[in-house]
Structure 1
Amino acid sequence: MRKLYNSIKDINPKTRNWKVKVVVAEKTMTRTSMQSPTKYMRLILADSQGNKVQVVIFNQREIDMFDHLLHIIRTYYIHNAIVKPIKPEHRIVDNVYQWTINATTLIEEISNDDSSLSAPSFSFVPFVELHKHMDYSALVDVIAVAIDVCPARQLQTRNGSSTIQEVILIDQLLKPIILTMWDQFVTNESAAIAQIITTRPVIMAIRLKVVSHNGKLFSKKNKILA
């Protein structure tokens, strides 16, 4: 019988026959590894205490298996994912371990509202305060309405050529900001936004870097939720 743990922090590579209740806080679209043609999807799970863990699913077959099961803001029991250390440069959340979900991982959705976990909270930065974060290493979260998607174009960088695409966002004061997508974000998130741009979707963008370039320009770092 699997032991139910209350905290993500209780789970380490030596833990056996475990399960923990979590909510899906973040979920990316499918990505291709920079070092190989391997496909992967990344998620962030959170527990009732606010602890978070980075989770990855590899290979298109298993991504397809879990993509329609794991949904943002829904609560699940996760049983026996693979737990391994993750290098500091690859960490998104404050956890030294990363979980890998594969075909042997058991996932149970919790549909009882009384048992569901609260949705994670975000500290959105108003557009009028973005100048305080300009050109600093700190990353910010914003929520805004997407009103236009510019054509994609190539940009030469020190590391070669990159594809970028700019999305125009406005806040409740109709103040515009440019959100710049890079490479795979152009292929995935930007393309998804372009398909629904006529509906003026509300976009939640997290872990953005604010840089100075002809005004305020967002450099996309992690993910978009539309």
Structure 2
Amino acid sequence: MEEKCTTLGKLELEAQNWFVKVIVAEKTPIRFLRWRRQQRLVFVDKENERMQSIIYEQDVDQLDKLLELYKTYHVGNAKIREITGNTPILGTSKHQMILSRSTYIKRTEEHERIPIDHIYQFTPFSELPEIADVPTKQINLLFSVIHVFPPRFVERTKRNLQDFVIINEERRALILTLWEEFLQSEAPYLTKNVHTMPILISFALKF
């Protein structure tokens, strides 16, 4: 299989008969957007090229179980589409994969895996004010949670949120706000384990 693999940067629109070896670097919760269930992932290859992928509707449950975070897979012959409109670009490519149950997906052997220590580019807290208004700059943070505030309802937006105090290796503190879609999936874990000061990674944050 290795000799058949190309890189994410070489995939073009309407490409056929291709295979890549990638690691699942990012994975969102399953959400309803525009009346459809969907899930987004970011694949990274050994050249550190990144491409976002999306799964829709009836394919979500099966592929969510198959594609585990930080595991390496051979993926082939998914549809390649251009990212249009206001859809954020989470990778280095302006294209995205459309994954389905008919896509070739097979987890690699352990000795074939891509190491995860070369795929992350973390943003120092000190640089956040400089890049806050740069739409093409993705904010990825490595931090510990040191304090949890109670959930609250914001009258202006009619939404619930919860604030957390986080700190990074610069020993700078910051408020991390989780909105409704994350209150069920992420907030309970942070609240339960704050006393251990868990070290966490978050991707594609807004500042």
TM-score interval, smaller chain: 0.7 to 0.9
The residue type equivalent to 1:62 in the other structure is: D
Alpha carbons of structure 1 residues 131 and 101: separation in structure 2 relative to 1, 3 Å = closer
* CA shift in 2, pair 1:112/1:173, >3 Å: closer
TM-fit CA distance, 1:194: 2.9
Residue 193 of structure 1 corresponds to 190
Deviations 1:160-219 (A, max 9, x none): 423221112133576432101123122322234334334332111223343xxxxxxxxx
Change (3 A) 1:51 1:151: same
Equivalenced residues, count = 202
User: Contact conserved, 2:38 with 2:56, CA < 8 A, in 1?
Assistant: yes
Residue 9 of structure 1: aligned partner: 9
Q: Which residue of 2 aligns with 1:101?
A: 99
Give the root-mean-square deviation of aligned CA atoms: 2.7
5+ residue gaps, structure 2, are none
Structure 1 residues 123 and 13 mapped into 2: Cα distance closer, same or farther (>3 Å)?
closer
Distance 1:89-1:203 versus aligned 2 partners, 3 A rule: same
Q: 1:155 to 1:108 in 2, by over 3 A?
A: same
Q: Aligned in 2, Cα 1:41/1:193: closer, same or farther, shift over 3 Å?
A: farther
Write the letter of the residue equivalent to 2:119.
Answer: S
User: What are the residue-to-residue correspondences of 1:12-91 with 2, within 5 Å?
Assistant: 12-33=12-33, 35-36=34-35, 38-59=36-57, 61-87=58-84, 89-90=86-87, 91=89
Shift of residue 139, structure 1, vs aligned partner: 4.5
Deviations 1:130-187 (A, max 9, x none): 5643754354322111133322222245xx4232211121335764321011231223
TM-score, normalising length from structure 2? Answer: 0.82
Aligned partner of residue 141 in structure 1, secondary structure = strand
In structure 1, runs of 5+ residues without a counterpart are 211-226
Contact 1:29 1:189 in 2 (8 A): no
Range 189-198 or range 83-92, more displaced: 189-198
Q: Percent identity?
A: 24
Q: Distance in 2 between matches of 1:139 and 1:97?
A: 17
- SS at 1:197 equivalent: helix
Contact 2:54 2:99 in 1 (8 A): yes
Q: 1:135 to 1:5 in 2, by over 3 A?
A: closer
Q: Could you say what secondary structure the match of 2:119 adopts?
A: coil
Task: Answer yes or no: is the 8 Å Cα contact 2:6–2:18 preserved in 1.
Answer: no
Corresponding residue of 1:148: 147
SS in 2 for 1:169: strand
Secondary structure of 1:16's aligned partner: coil
Offset of residue 82 of structure 1: 2.1
Partners of 1:48 and 1:20 lie apart in 2 by: 10
Whole-angstrom distance in 2 between the partners of 1:21 and 1:139? 23
SS in 2 for 1:93: coil
The alpha-carbon distance between structure 1 residues 96 and 78, as it changes in their structure 2 partners (threshold 3 A), is: same
Q: 2: CA distance between counterparts of 1:131 and 1:112?
A: 37
- 1:183 is aligned, of 180, 183, 188, to 180
Output the amino acid matched with 1:116.
R
> Structure 1 residues 133, 162: closer, same or farther in 2, change over 3 A?
farther
Asked if 2 retains the 8 angstrom alpha-carbon contact of 1:22 and 1:48, the reply is yes
Question: Matched residues in 1 for 2:84 and 2:193: separation?
Answer: 37
CA pair 180-19 structure 1, distance change in 2 beyond 3 A: same
